[in-house]
Structure 1
Amino acid sequence: MTILTLILIGFALRLFYLTRSHPFFDEYTTVLAARQILSRGWPVLPSGLFYEHGLLASYLIAPFTALYIFQPVDQWQTAHWGLMLSRWPSLLVGGLTIPLVYAIIRREQRPAAGRGSQFVPLLAAGLFALSPEGMVWGGRARMYALATLLVWLTVWLAWRGTAPGPAGTRFRRLALLALLATLLTQFGALLAVPALVAGMVAAGWLARGDRRPWFLHPAALLDAAGLAVVTAAAVLVKRLGQPLGAAPLTATQGDELGTELWNTIAYQTALHFTWPDTVKFLAREFGVPHHYWLTLLALAGLAVGLTAAVLARQKIRPTFPLFAGLVFGLTILELVTLLEPFRRNPRYVVMFLPLFYTAAAAAISALGRLTPLLRRQSLAQPVAAVGLLIVLVTLGRDDLRVAAVTPEPAYEQAFAWLRPRLGPDDAILTMNTPAAGLYLDRVDGFAVQQDADQFLLTGSGAAVDRWLGVPWVGSAADFAAVLNNRPTAWFIIDTIRLPVYFRGDWLALVRTQMEQVWASDNALIFRTRDDRTPTPTRPDHPLDARLGDTIRLEGYTLTRSPSPPALHLTLFWRPTASIDTDYTKFIHLRNADGVTVAQHDSQPLGGLYPTSRWQAGETVIDPVVIPLPPDLPPGQYRIFTGLYRLDTLERLPVTNDTSGENAVILPGGVNLP
């Protein structure tokens, strides 16, 4: 009855998340892949990319997607019961994993502990049922719920495979099949393979008795060959998906295939270990409230258990919780030594959480053995497990609450709002092209400026996004060109990615050329302003003025507005190297006597994009409006511009300076009527 209650609570938490949260950014890609499976039989995205990521999960999700995806968008049900139907496989798989954790641990308990012992299985299953990670990924249309289940089955089958004889051999073959399914669901689980092999060898050696361990039998050679085939097959499928920077596999010569497969693994790994990065990673995973106290109790229990074994001179006997803990610990060790910090994705740890909870529950049970009441098979064990579970969940309740209520950007609502307002010649720019493809069936530009390589395909020439094959709009000049060439342009983004993937020159265009017309739960829609002055994308007057060793002024565009009187000057800067200083720009309008009659001083783009953030080789388009005095007499005026340090007022030297003051004199000046 207790485990049934935990299953229902875990299912309810996942259902709550499923029905109350907006889709995670990557869920749209999974649903797009499922739609392609329904129409083509396999997940080849509109860009032509084979989407191998979460391959088995995509096939599992596809039948649920079929319930709505072919209906016209305006006939879809509300977001939670339309697109959200694709989340149900994760909910069902996540709910199934809870009793499976309980059942396997109970089955594998040593006879000395008694098959009726419930403390460890109840605590481990309860921790997983009530974990924030289990709730979130059990309510999303992604592969992590299925990967968690498959990792758990693979580890259990591998554990059973450490037994000698035909029974162990059968379990090892089943473990290989489960491992293949795991890798085809989440390739990141490849991290567990060395840990799994090491754990199996250690368990086989410790349990050998007077018999040869499993790995010294001839059948182990066949197992090793099977592992090589499974790994190679998974790597080949991963390579077909064209990882970052890789050309399509069809362009690879046969004698290069082995190298390509090796590079598919190697490009994701690198020997990297520093204490600060390791501490940061461990604090992020185990220092959060819902894991912190659990980890302390587990370490205390481990210390008690080891101390008792040493004092009693007991030989270490392998158990399933010990095996699970060893595999988990070695996998974490690989994460902090074989992956660079930016690749240590918390989602990788999610797949192995049942192993952590199993090992932790077993270690904590060592503390319980100090209490005579818990040594007997009685009501005390489930009561103790549930009581401790309540305490741990209460201590970590903020993590659960934050995971449940923190909104993902409401892209599905944004595109649903936008659909009836689109004109036939409007331009749609977004970073979330899969969502646009699902909801609008059209998108004109993949908008991302910073760290774009990971999202692009470049093999056929012009760069396009990996999902729909949409042209990349990757610079402020490209963005301005779209805004200038379409009657209306829409930019759909969210508050999380806007400051991360877009620099100040892009943000300045959004501020000056567009207006926000819709916002909800971090999702934003901008539309071009009716009263805007289009930003030039190339200079009318080319220059080659060099300021210091790192900046060139490549030209300018100049126009005049009569009412109110003002000059509209756009400067085109190009940094040639990284810049450490935030320079201030000056613009002086001077009459024939050299008197400054109007001026403008500010950081480039009004401070939105200071020079210290400029990227070497890019063009920074810097529009400026210079108000003119209403009584300014007609005549010829000259324009001086340059850069200086605000703290010292020292100007950046101009190469071949003709002004005598380290300023660039714009050729031709301006004739004011």
Structure 2
Amino acid sequence: MQLRTITLFGLILAGFAIRVYYLTTTHPFFDEYTTVLAARQIVETGWPILPSGLFYEHGLLATYLIAPFTALFSHQPLASWQPAHWGLMLSRWPSALISTLTIPAIYVVGYKADAPNPLTKSAALLAAGLFAFSPEGMVWGGRARMYALATLLVLITVYLAYRGTIYPYRAAFRWAALLALLAALLTQLGALMLIPPLIVAMLVNSFSRSRSRPHQATHRPWFLQKTALLEGLALAAIIAFAVFIKRLGRPIGFDSLANSESHSLLPELLNTIRYQTTLYFTWDETLKFLSRQFGIPHHLWLTLATIAGTGLGLILLAIIIYRRPTNQRPISNLQLPITNYCPPFFTAFNVFLWLTFGLVILEMVTLLDPFRRNPRYLVMMLPLFYLIAAYALFNVVVILQQLVTYARRPVFSFYAAIALLAVFAGLNLGDLRLALITPEPAYENAFAKIYADWQPGDTLLTMNTPAAGLYLGQVDGFTIQNEAEQFLLNADAQPVDRWLGAPWIGTVSELNTVLNNHSRTWFVTDTIRQPVYFRGDWQAILATQMEQVWAGDNALLYRTRPDRTPLPTQPATMVNANFNRAIALTGYSLITPTQTAQPELNLVLFWQPLNTIETDYTTFLHLRTANGDTVAQRDSQPLSGAYPTSQWQPGETIIDPLTLPLPEDLPAGSYQLYTGLYQLDTLARLPVTNDTSGENAIPLGEIRLP
């Protein structure tokens, strides 16, 4: 007992240490800025209502727990907490403390759920150790998000629900489970997927126990008691309330309740659940999801060992049944001991965990939209997985007890738990190190750079508006091109971002307008999101109109080039040419560049895709004499290859700046400019509708060179 207690204390300290190390040495996760912004709003107003007016319900209870820590820095001058971002680090402490508390909670649940015995206690110690050294436990236990609290609440809910289904079926446990479930739902609505599996597990557990224990037959199972109806009504009310809170937060595609077309609340609540679910199953998507959760190195070995241990346990169960005398009174397989030591694999609680966790996985691969099948939402179920794994692994100990006399000593199970933990903790080291050295984008450092160099009249554009609000107190535009709808409010009218209410800058034309209207513009992004949410035309504008002034740990900081030549946002000369009804050239503009040593002609072409394009076309630009002789030409993919035509989106406008080098001895005079598109591998030009050139080229008109 003393060794086990000392070891548990050591696991708690070790788990706390790695969480604090992660907490103090890593950059904030992208969503942490939003949580801290909401916590700051709670400190100031009492409610998590963001500057945009959005009620931020994500992790509601966790945000309220974080708020007091946020209060320690939220009213300090920005400059006083920029260094080392200690302000935001304080907001991470609730997660670290809660995640550390989950370690002994797993141990207590693991050995108290059924009759305590050395094997069960040692298996529970192993499960607690697996969570203590879990990379997911470290990461989410070191971030200012809701998952640490949700993990603890799910564990408590499952334990209380189980205790409420065993004799004497105390209703107090089930009511406590309902309260824990409400807290879990208000922390992470994804806990909804726990409810159907939990109900199934509770029913199965009650049936199996009533059949195996005839002396309890005089007592009604919990679901036949008078309180069951009240409990069912309470469950329905809890679900409705949690979904209502979610609806207040205006999920993607939903308007505010005040502007809703529905005059009844019930359809709104049902739609709030329905938009996240769909009946969808494919083997490819299922295997992809399972590989993301259980195929990562530290979980792969543990999963394989769990499967092997489970198979071994089933073999042991078959042996027990085979050796049982035929005249022996049938009893539940769950209660059959193989020795005087009751192995944890043959307990009702283990079956309860298998049913709950297994059915949650089944729900995720069949009832959730593939977009929602993020392993992040399974993090709160990890204690269940670690308990299942520990119980399965201890079947090896049961075998050793049959073969080795020393193994029957109570202390052996403790040493076995330590040995198994050492093996799997060692396998975790690579992923623990990877989680520590894989940086989140250093947005706080990027905004510190801006803060130090900010000048009156500057303007700021970024996708991470919550971070801008925290570190600078302002943002002038929310920048994103792809998949913008999920981040916008009022998308059909005047779209703004969900967090600060900054106007949406979603096209290169709008970006150019901002650059042209302000002497200095800052743009903050990162290497992870830039290729996902921004297209090639945006990248090209960054390359020609802005300069990268800083980069660090995946964060990128751009500023307007002081010597740039502003690009037009609309064509000065309209052309309205049509290339095979696939691409339109709406017009062009000649621009006057800064003084250069090499003579050149600068212009901007304005393209508009009319349909989806499967081919990458090359642009040609010819300068010809009145006799048709070509004196200068340029061939290149649009935007110098940064945005190939096969990636163009129908209806958008591509602003394509081109520089045509001119011969130094080119005489002054009038010249003709032609452009067009062709396929590089065949040199076949894309046909021009109503072509007047005879060569599938567009005459842009006369150009006079001085």
Q: Same fold (TM over 0.5)?
A: yes
Kept in 1: contact 2:574–2:586 (CA 8 A): yes
- Segments of 5+ residues of structure 2 without an aligned counterpart are 1-5, 322-330, 335-346
Superposition pairs for residues 394-413 of structure 1, below 5 Å? Answer: 394-413=426-445
TM-score (norm 2): 0.92
* 1:158 has 2:166 as partner: no
Question: 1:579 maps to what in 2?
Answer: 613
Deviations 1:320-349 (A, max 9, x none): 232122211111111111123221111111
Kept in 2: contact 1:545–1:552 (CA 8 A): yes
SS in 1 for 2:210: coil
Superposition pairs for residues 358-507 of structure 1, below 5 Å? Answer: 358-372=387-401, 376=408, 378-458=410-490, 461-507=493-539
Alpha-carbon offset, residue 367 of structure 1: 2.1
Question: 1:95 maps to what in 2?
Answer: 100
Kept in 2: contact 1:106–1:115 (CA 8 A): no
- Distance in structure 1 (CA, Å) of the matches to 2:293 and 2:496: 35
SS in 1 for 2:604: strand
* 1:660 has 2:694 as partner: yes
Question: 2:133 maps to what in 1?
Answer: 130
Question: Partner amino acid for 1:462?
Answer: Q
* 1:593 has 2:593 as partner: no
SS in 1 for 2:90: helix
Deviations 1:395-447 (A, max 9, x none): 23211110122111111111112102111211101111101101100110111
Alpha-carbon offset, residue 536 of structure 1: 1.2
SS in 1 for 2:547: strand
SS in 2 for 1:539: coil
Alpha-carbon offset, residue 308 of structure 1: 2.0
- Distance in structure 1 (CA, Å) of the matches to 2:534 and 2:156: 43
Higher mean displacement: 196-205 or 602-611: 196-205
- Distance in structure 2 (CA, Å) of the matches to 1:144 and 1:375: 39
* Aligned with 2:71 (options 55, 63, 66): 66
* 1:526 has 2:558 as partner: yes
Alpha-carbon offset, residue 257 of structure 1: 1.7
Question: Partner amino acid for 2:162?
Answer: W
Question: 2:325 maps to what in 1?
Answer: none
Alpha-carbon offset, residue 639 of structure 1: 1.2
Question: Partner amino acid for 1:364?
Answer: L
* 1:339 has 2:368 as partner: yes
- Distance in structure 1 (CA, Å) of the matches to 2:634 and 2:426: 58
Deviations 1:194-252 (A, max 9, x none): 11111111111111234343223332222211111110000000000000010001123
Question: 2:16 maps to what in 1?
Answer: 11
Kept in 2: contact 1:23–1:408 (CA 8 A): yes
Question: 1:559 maps to what in 2?
Answer: 591
Kept in 2: contact 1:19–1:80 (CA 8 A): no
* 1:569 has 2:603 as partner: yes
SS in 1 for 2:570: coil
Question: Partner amino acid for 1:392?
Answer: F
- Distance in structure 2 (CA, Å) of the matches to 1:303 and 1:47: 54
SS in 1 for 2:394: helix
Alpha-carbon offset, residue 144 of structure 1: 0.4
* 1:316 has 2:333 as partner: yes
Alpha-carbon offset, residue 168 of structure 1: 2.6
Question: Partner amino acid for 1:495?
Answer: T
TM-score (norm 1): 0.97
SS in 2 for 1:632: coil
Question: Partner amino acid for 1:671?
Answer: R
Question: 2:344 maps to what in 1?
Answer: none
* 1:639 has 2:657 as partner: no
* 1:297 has 2:305 as partner: yes
Question: 2:248 maps to what in 1?
Answer: 240
Alpha-carbon offset, residue 319 of structure 1: 2.1
- Distance in structure 1 (CA, Å) of the matches to 2:393 and 2:531: 44
- Distance in structure 1 (CA, Å) of the matches to 2:350 and 2:15: 22
SS in 2 for 1:599: strand
* 1:34 has 2:66 as partner: no
Question: Partner amino acid for 1:35?
Answer: R
- Distance in structure 1 (CA, Å) of the matches to 2:120 and 2:688: 81
- Distance in structure 2 (CA, Å) of the matches to 1:81 and 1:566: 52
Question: 1:670 maps to what in 2?
Answer: 703
Question: Relative to structure 1, is the Cα distance of residues 62 and 437 closer, same or farther in structure 2, using a 3 angstrom cutoff?
Answer: same
Deviations 1:371-409 (A, max 9, x none): 115864522112111111111121232111101221111
Alpha-carbon offset, residue 164 of structure 1: 5.0
Kept in 2: contact 1:65–1:83 (CA 8 A): yes
Deviations 1:446-502 (A, max 9, x none): 111111111110168210000000001111111111111100001111111111111
Question: Partner amino acid for 1:105?
Answer: G
Higher mean displacement: 360-369 or 149-158: 360-369
Question: Partner amino acid for 1:224?
Answer: G
Kept in 2: contact 1:491–1:526 (CA 8 A): yes
- Distance in structure 1 (CA, Å) of the matches to 2:492 and 2:37: 22
* Aligned with 2:25 (options 14, 20, 28): 20
The Cα RMSD (Å) is 1.6
- Distance in structure 1 (CA, Å) of the matches to 2:476 and 2:580: 39
Alpha-carbon offset, residue 311 of structure 1: 3.1
* Aligned with 1:225 (options 233, 238, 254): 233
Question: 2:7 maps to what in 1?
Answer: 2
* Aligned with 1:141 (options 137, 144, 153): 144
SS in 2 for 1:626: strand
- Distance in structure 1 (CA, Å) of the matches to 2:495 and 2:651: 18
Alpha-carbon offset, residue 645 of structure 1: 0.4
Higher mean displacement: 188-197 or 89-98: 188-197
Higher mean displacement: 364-373 or 4-13: 364-373
Higher mean displacement: 650-659 or 403-412: 403-412
For this pair of structures, how many residues does the alignment match? 669
Question: Partner amino acid for 1:498?
Answer: Q
Question: 2:324 maps to what in 1?
Answer: none
- Distance in structure 1 (CA, Å) of the matches to 2:120 and 2:682: 75
SS in 2 for 1:479: helix
Kept in 2: contact 1:117–1:377 (CA 8 A): no
- Distance in structure 1 (CA, Å) of the matches to 2:179 and 2:238: 8
Question: 1:262 maps to what in 2?
Answer: 270
% of aligned pairs identical? 58
* Aligned with 2:172 (options 170, 185, 190): 170
- Distance in structure 1 (CA, Å) of the matches to 2:16 and 2:170: 34
- Distance in structure 2 (CA, Å) of the matches to 1:143 and 1:86: 12
Alpha-carbon offset, residue 636 of structure 1: 1.8
- Distance in structure 1 (CA, Å) of the matches to 2:222 and 2:298: 38
Question: 2:342 maps to what in 1?
Answer: none
- Distance in structure 2 (CA, Å) of the matches to 1:295 and 1:301: 10
Question: Partner amino acid for 2:703?
Answer: V
Higher mean displacement: 360-369 or 147-156: 360-369
- Distance in structure 2 (CA, Å) of the matches to 1:380 and 1:312: 23
Alpha-carbon offset, residue 163 of structure 1: 2.4
Kept in 2: contact 1:116–1:377 (CA 8 A): no
Question: Partner amino acid for 2:619?
Answer: K
Kept in 2: contact 1:587–1:640 (CA 8 A): yes
Alpha-carbon offset, residue 307 of structure 1: 2.2
Question: 1:191 maps to what in 2?
Answer: 193
Alpha-carbon offset, residue 254 of structure 1: 6.3
Higher mean displacement: 359-368 or 44-53: 359-368
Alpha-carbon offset, residue 309 of structure 1: 1.8
Kept in 2: contact 1:448–1:502 (CA 8 A): yes
SS in 2 for 1:312: helix
Kept in 1: contact 2:461–2:476 (CA 8 A): yes
Question: Partner amino acid for 1:255?
Answer: H
